Amino acid sequence: MKRILFLLLVSSVLYSQQTAKITYNFYSNGTPTGTPPLVLEASGIISKYINASGEMFYIDYISGKSYQSAALKTGEIITDEELISSYPVPELHSDTLTILGYLCKKAHVVIRSNHIDIWYTDKTGFKGTPAINIGPALGLILRIVRNGNYEIRAENIEIKPLNIFLPRSFGNIVELPYYRYLLTAQNYTTLTIFENQKINYGDKPVNIFTNEPDITYRFSEGTVILKKVKLPQNMGGHSVTAELTERSAGDAYDRTGSLFIIPDLTKDTSITFIDAFLNGITALPKYDARNKKDYRGITLTEKYTPPIELVRFITPFGIGSYNSQVQVYGVKWEDSVTYKQDITNMLPVLQGEVWFGVFIGCYDKGGHEVSLRLKYFPDDVPQESIPQPNGYIMPLIFTTNIMEASSQEYATLFETDTLSLWVDIPNGIKELTLRYISTGHGGWGGGDEFNKKVNYIFADNKLIYNYIPWRDDCGMYRKYNPASGNFPNGMSSSDFSRSGWCPGSTSLPVDIPLNLKPGRHKISVYIPLGKPEGTSFSSWNVSAVLTGKY
């Protein structure tokens, strides 16, 4: 009975209030932005509006609360509830300005370094703001100017009877960060490829290989996981990001990691790296090196297509597993590391059925745990640089010995050879680019890991690009490296600069434009490999992929 009386009382108050509809438009540097007009419905006790994305915003001046509400594509209603008093309080000024016949006062507020001027009036019987977090308690806001160049202007006020109510239900009340996450996540596509999968040393394959999708296969003593996944088609208007999360489950060292894809056997009758996983590394073609070592499957041949490396990453020293065992003053360890990289230029091969593999070169029974997600983000503004689904992709080089645990040779051939291969460029390719990743290894003072070495790239025996892959920002990743050695001089092993990598980070590709006509071309890479010392030696993990557009 009390609730009925309360609702009747509120209803009588609502109908006694003056109500209005205010229309706002948006401007940047005095020019309309193209955003649809915003219509605010306001009374003295409730205001509401709907933004261009369909979100509903309410302010209840009786309870002193605001509500931001949306209907998800699933039909679920989610709402964030906030106290009006929790918003930044503007500073009141003495300036005045007449807008649409109302004398307005000025207020100023700073929100995340944005300086915002607010023009509001308290000469009406209603309240409201076109931006729920900007001056909701001031009165009726008729103009907002952000940083002097972006404006929200009231351009029409229509005083008329309106029935303005709060919804009977706000659905699921959630915290603002989760509200934003749910609202945004429905707008992009997320595919989980691997979830907390173990990569270690000493485990035999646990599945019989059947070439079927959605089964995680384990190869090379457990150091490689492989799965066939069905990806969405026709995603040309999207940007694609790979997110690979890694946590140590026992291994304390920085290890080479690679996220790669392999052409599907059902689509390509040539040899692929799957042949090596099934039949041993000798199933792949041998590279004829002068030092007579047995390098297998490292370059494109007429019958063999190497893997396409999406992300090269280096694991940190023992993240997760060793957090509680090592304490360093002033450092709080992260529980895991997520390598997040834009791989949109690989979009032409990221559709349909694709084999995904992850390798970590470890020799520990506990090893590592990894999860992998792909996210396809629709582009708000069309970008000419985004490749189309029928774009050109051709893997050329992949020297990382992902079957290291099965005796695949390290990439030491640069001690005697320039690595070379032949590739046929088809007609009609535009914007031909070489996507090149290079990291040097050899973990002692004279090893290539700690010495700058020039990488030389040739096309048809002409030098087209040279650079030194080097990272001197490794100290930024200290919080990921609990098991890193700490030295009397104050340095940590994880802090040292290295040849193209840091423990706990990705090794970014270099994009090299190529001006090659259709036809057969020779691509070569030379790196002056350091001399071995005793049992220590240097090697270089190189991957190269041609990309282009038709």
* pLDDT above 60 (res 487): yes
Give residues with Cβ within 8 angstroms of 126, minimum separation 6: 17, 18, 19, 20, 42, 43, 44, 47, 140
Q: How confident is the model at residue 211 (pLDDT cuts 50, 70, 90)?
A: confident
* Beta carbons of 173 and 161 less than 8 angstroms apart: no
Amino acid at 426: P
Q: Which of 152-156, 455-459, 530-534 has the lowest mean pLDDT?
A: 530-534
* Beta carbons of 244 and 313 less than 8 angstroms apart: yes
What mean pLDDT is predicted for residues 148-154?
97
Share above pLDDT 90 across residues of the chain, in percent, rounded to a whole number: 85
Q: Are residues 195 and 125 in the same domain?
A: no
Last residue in a domain, options 121, 142, 175:
175
Helix (H, G, I), strand (E, B) or coil at 13: helix
Q: Are residues 439 and 393 in the same domain?
A: yes
Q: Are residues 220 and 169 in the same domain?
A: no
Q: How confident is the model at residue 206 (pLDDT cuts 50, 70, 90)?
A: low
Q: Are residues 29 and 147 in the same domain?
A: yes
pLDDT of residue 204: 74
* pLDDT above 90 (res 125): no
* pLDDT above 80 (res 374): yes
* Beta carbons of 499 and 440 less than 8 angstroms apart: yes
pLDDT of residue 213: 86
pLDDT of residue 477: 97
pLDDT of residue 209: 78
Q: Are residues 273 and 409 in the same domain?
A: yes
Q: Are residues 456 and 481 in the same domain?
A: yes
pLDDT tens digits, 256-272: 999 999 976 556 668 99
Tell me, yes or no, whether 183 lies in a domain.
no
* pLDDT above 50 (res 6): no
* pLDDT above 60 (res 8): no
Tell me, yes or no, whether 3 lies in a domain.
no
Amino acid at 231: L
Q: Are residues 150 and 228 in the same domain?
A: no
* pLDDT above 80 (res 508): yes
Q: Are residues 65 and 211 in the same domain?
A: no
More confident residue, 270 or 401: 401
Q: Are residues 167 and 231 in the same domain?
A: no
134: domain CATH number is 2.50.20
Q: b/e per residue, 331-350, with b = 16+ CB within 10 A?
A: eebbebbebebebbbbbbbb
Last residue in a domain, options 148, 175, 202:
175
Give residues with Cβ within 8 angstroms of 99, minimum separation 6: 119, 121, 142, 143, 154
Tell me, yes or no, whether 8 lies in a domain.
no
Tell me, yes or no, whether 63 lies in a domain.
yes
Q: How far apart are the first and last CA of the chain?
A: 73
pLDDT tens digits, 17-65: 689 999 999 999 999 999 999 999 999 999 999 999 999 999 999 999 9
Tell me, yes or no, whether 193 lies in a domain.
yes
Q: How confident is the model at residue 233 (pLDDT cuts 50, 70, 90)?
A: confident
* pLDDT above 50 (res 13): no
| Residue pointed to by tokens 């509680």 | 324
Tell me, yes or no, whether 4 lies in a domain.
no
* pLDDT above 60 (res 154): yes
How many C-beta atoms surround the C-beta of residue 169 within 10 A?
9
* pLDDT above 70 (res 11): no
Helix (H, G, I), strand (E, B) or coil at 294: coil
Q: Are residues 215 and 122 in the same domain?
A: no
pLDDT of residue 426: 94
Last residue in a domain, options 145, 175, 205:
175
* pLDDT above 70 (res 205): no
More confident residue, 194 or 266: 194
Q: Are residues 100 and 202 in the same domain?
A: no
Tell me, yes or no, whether 283 lies in a domain.
yes
Amino acid at 549: K
* Beta carbons of 323 and 333 less than 8 angstroms apart: yes
Our count of domains for the chain comes to: 2
The range of the structural domain enclosing residue 50 comes to 17-175
pLDDT of residue 151: 98
What mean pLDDT is predicted for residues 134-159?
97
235: domain CATH number is 2.60.120.1570
How many C-beta atoms surround the C-beta of residue 183 within 10 A?
18
* Beta carbons of 323 and 335 less than 8 angstroms apart: yes
What mean pLDDT is predicted for residues 394-419?
97
Q: Are residues 431 and 525 in the same domain?
A: yes
pLDDT of residue 466: 98
Helix (H, G, I), strand (E, B) or coil at 321: coil
What mean pLDDT is predicted for residues 416-435?
96
Tell me, yes or no, whether 182 lies in a domain.
no
